[in-house]
Amino acid sequence: MIAAGSGLVTGRRADEAALDAALQAMAASGVESADLALVFATPDAYHFGHALLHAVRRVTGARAVLGASGTGVLTERGEAEGGPAVAVLVVRSDGPLLASPFLLAEREALDAEAGQDLAERAAPAVAEGGCLLILPDAMSLDPHGLLRALADGLGPVPVLGGVAAGSPVFELYAADVATRALPALAVSGARPVVGVAQGCQPIGEPYVVTGGEGNVVRAIAGRRPLEVLREALRAVPDLERRVRQAGVFAGLAINPAKSPLERGDFLLRNLAGVDRETGALAVAEAVRIGQTIQFHIRDAQAAREDLEAMLDRVQVALAGRRPAFGLYFNCAGRGQGLYGVPGHDVTAIRRRLGDWPLAGFFGNGEFAPVGGRNFFHNYTGVLALFPES
């Protein structure tokens, strides 16, 4: 059995807010002590970090305490942006769910070498299924090198998490406030149901890349890529209004055998450059000849629709099970700044999937698998649900 609860306190000094948030979380969980406490705080908490962590440890009795800063924080009760806030999630399991914490500190870079070290530490804990939660600092982070090393060391274990954000940026672990660090949590005994909402809407048609090298696409279905992009944009309903406010992305199909391709089947990447003379496009990811590509746009309408599509997939995967608790890592580029209203994503999650403990933060990037492979994302909401036994 898994018992969990969350607490959210806004507008108060961080150590006092953490104390009350931890008390809320423990009361909601119905247990006297927790195995795990996750703490997410806005940047104002930095100077109160030690007191904040001591308060959480004292109230929860948790063996594992870790977290990170975000531009905002959230629980199932709502999203807190634009002011001081602390969110606490506590978890206790009497079954197979086990959580092993780690900290990579005092690193010049959070890169492949760091990933190899983390994989060696975490491998025994995730050998029987589970996932790896990471909360790295943005400074000196090489997400692609980190993920490559984790893939080599851990295989297909899902890597989930968010990049700490705010000013200052910091990480929380045990009783320590750290910078340029990577707190991690190896969770075994329960593989989560994961939903990834990249906030985009496909436009035009999917085509095969027929020319290019590295991250430069020189031909799509034998045509100039820029011509294909313009054709896709002309197909957007209400083009003039939406495109002025939208970002344009390349969607790269992950599974070459899947047909038809749908939302959730693409890895979304920025367009990094255009050669107007040749019509070539540079994409912020390596592209293979023979890979399927489809252009996407991102705005509030696309993000709303994509979130609902993600929740459809999660609901099917849950197959009637209730989440014992969940984590939601949201991009700092989403939230009220994107939708124009507060609490959009949490409201949608709760409306579709019910009321259960949830916590997370607004970060500088997200980690989650797409098509069975782990990737680093931007502008994305990553939902990880741990169903009841």
User: Which pLDDT score is estimated for 143?
Assistant: 97
User: Which pLDDT score is estimated for 237?
Assistant: 78
User: Which pLDDT score is estimated for 5?
Assistant: 98
- Whole-structure pTM value: 0.95
- Please identify every stretch of the chain with a pLDDT value under 50, giving residue numbers as ranges: none
For the chain, give the mean pLDDT: 95
Query: Rounded to a whole number, what is the distance in angstroms from the first to the last CA of the chain?
Result: 6
- Chain centroid offset of residue 209 CA: 28
User: Which pLDDT score is estimated for 235?
Assistant: 87
Neighbours of 51 (CB within 10 A): 17
User: Which pLDDT score is estimated for 353?
Assistant: 98
**Beta sheet of 78-81, edge-to-edge order:** 78-81, 72-75, 358-363, 323-331, 381-387, 193-197
So where are the chain's domains?
Answer: 2-197+304-387, 201-298
Contacts of 204 (CB under 8 A, 6+ apart): 228, 229, 231, 232, 233, 235, 294, 295
User: Which pLDDT score is estimated for 97?
Assistant: 81
Q: What is the pLDDT of residues 165-197, one digit of tens each?
A: 999 999 999 999 999 999 999 999 888 999 999
- Annotate the chain with three-state secondary structure: CEEEEEEEEECCCHHHHHHHHHHHHHHHHCCCCCCEEEEEECHHHHHHHHHHHHHHHHHHCCCEEEEEECCEEEECCEEEECCCEEEEEEEEECCCCEEEEEEECCCCCECHHHHHHHHHHHHHHHCCCEEEEECCCCCCECHHHHHHHHHHHHCCCCEEEECCCCCCCCEEECCEEECCCEEEEEEECCCCEEEEECCCEECCCCEEEEEEECCEEEEECCECHHHHHHHHHHCCCCHHHHHHHCEEEEEEECCCCCCCCCCCCEEEEEEEEEECCCCEEEECCCCCCCCEEEEEEECHHHHHHHHHHHHHHHHHHHCCCCEEEEEEEEECCCHHHHHCCCCHHHHHHHHHHCCCCEEEEEECCEEEEECCEEEEECCCEEEEEEECC
- Chain centroid offset of residue 84 CA: 22
User: Which pLDDT score is estimated for 72?
Assistant: 98
User: Which pLDDT score is estimated for 306?
Assistant: 97
